[in-house]
């Protein structure tokens, strides 16, 4: 088994001050990557601000012999995204890897969901990934190399009560992943998504403390997808508790008729829904 090293590669990891993001930062740094540890130091709902979490992870990396800088710009604005990428260029001269991990929660049932709760979640998860990836994309295309990993969620793929805003943002990231994988192919830029489940600040209310659900068990797939040897692109991986599995989009065999009608659909819905035969897209 060949060790995956990242000597000289520069990685931006958003939301890296705690939990899964911290784990990604530590693993990539341990393998030689130069890391921009981005985190505004907010609470789970996005309120508050502190430079402490990002700097604490940098201190861990440096204590272990690695190299990293702390960054507290917000992914929620175009200016913040540009500043995060500029920090990588100014400090390390390039950007090779972007792991879009920053996130907040504003859970509410759809009946009670407010526009502000929707916008806040979209700003960090979906628009936040766009704000960081867009300026990084320019550098990656110029150097004909890049690795991007987006953090989706089972809430987007499968649904979860009280998370219509979060699920919409996360499924939006799947769509962006699929499109950028196509657009980045000629420039040797791979783009993939993960749907992780681990015990972190965001999930501790419903995931009991369990070593099998540690954030560190998410990072191996991110490290692999971030490596230069990985040619996989446009894929989604469901990961947690030590398991990694591909999630995919498929289309059933369905029915075809030049005389298609609503009545025909009603009569054939079981065949339309039958997953016995399908095409992976």
SS (H, E, C) 157-178: HCCCCCEHHHHHHHHHHHHHHH
Tell me the C-alpha distance between 127 and 121, whole Å.
9
pLDDT of the residue at 45: 62
Distant-in-sequence, close-in-space partners of 30: CB < 8 Å, separation ≥ 6: 64, 66
Q: DSSP character for 217?
A: G
pLDDT average, residue stretch 271-278: 96
pLDDT digits 0-9 by tens, 83-131: 999 999 999 999 999 999 999 999 999 999 999 999 999 999 999 999 9
pLDDT digits 0-9 by tens, 187-215: 999 999 999 987 655 554 454 565 567 89
123-142 per-residue burial string, b: 16 or more CB within 10 A, e: under 16: bbbbbbbbbbbebbbebbbe
pLDDT average, residue stretch 217-234: 97
Q: Which helix (H) or strand (E) holds 244?
A: strand 243-247
Lowest mean pLDDT among 31-35, 49-53, 90-94: 49-53
pLDDT, mean over the chain: 94
Q: DSSP character for 200?
A: S
pLDDT digits 0-9 by tens, 63-82: 999 999 999 999 999 999 99
pLDDT digits 0-9 by tens, 139-196: 999 999 999 999 999 999 999 999 999 999 999 999 999 999 999 999 999 999 999 9
Q: DSSP character for 108?
A: B
Cα-Cα end-to-end distance for the chain: 31
Question: By the 8 A CB rule, do 226 and 99 touch?
Answer: yes
Tokens 């504003």 belong to residue: 106
pLDDT average, residue stretch 216-224: 97
Q: Which of 32, 42, 45, 21 is nearest to 98 (CA)?
A: 21
SS3 state at 237: strand
Q: Phi/psi class of residue 159: alpha, beta or left (left: φ > 0; alpha: ψ in -120 to 50)?
A: left
* Pairing assessment for the beta strands 243-247 and 236-240 based on DSSP bridges: antiparallel
Length of the chain: 281
Positions marked active-site? 166
Query: What residue ranges define each of the domains in the chain, with the CATH number in brackets?
Result: 10-248 (3.40.50.720), 250-281 (no CATH)
């Amino acid at each position: 088994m060949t060790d995956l090293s990242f000597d000289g590669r520069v990685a931006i990891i958003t939301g890296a001050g705690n939990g899964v993001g911290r784990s990604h930062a530590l693993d990539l740094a341990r393998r030689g990557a130069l890391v921009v540890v981005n985190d505004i130091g907010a609470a789970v709902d996005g309120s508050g601000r502190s430079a402490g979490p990002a700097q604490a992870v940098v201190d861990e990396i440096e204590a272990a012999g690695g190299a990293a800088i702390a960054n507290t710009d917000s992914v929620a604005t175009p200016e913040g995204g540009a500043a995060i990428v500029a920090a990588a260029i100014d400090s390390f001269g390039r950007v090779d890897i972007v792991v879009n991990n920053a996130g907040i929660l504003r859970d509410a049932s759809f009946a009670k969901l407010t526009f502000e709760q929707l916008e806040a979640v979209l700003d960090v998860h979906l628009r936040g990934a766009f704000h960081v990836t867009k300026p990084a994309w320019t550098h990656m295309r110029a150097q004909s190399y890049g690795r991007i990993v987006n953090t989706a969620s089972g809430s987007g793929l499968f649904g979860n009560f009280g998370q219509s805003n979060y699920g919409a943002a996360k499924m939006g990231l799947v769509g962006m992943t699929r499109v950028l994988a196509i657009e980045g192919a000629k420039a040797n830029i791979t783009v993939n998504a993960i749907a992780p489940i681990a015990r972190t600040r965001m999930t501790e209310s419903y995931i009991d403390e369990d070593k099998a659900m540690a954030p560190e068990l998410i990072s191996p797939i991110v490290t692999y997808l971030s490596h230069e040897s990985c040619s996989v692109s446009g894929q989604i991986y469901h990961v947690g508790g030590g398991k990694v599995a591909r999630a995919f989009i498929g289309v059933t065999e369905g029915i075809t008729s030049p005389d298609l009608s609503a009545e025909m659909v009603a009569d054939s819905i079981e065949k339309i829904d039958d997953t016995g035969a399908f095409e992976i897209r």
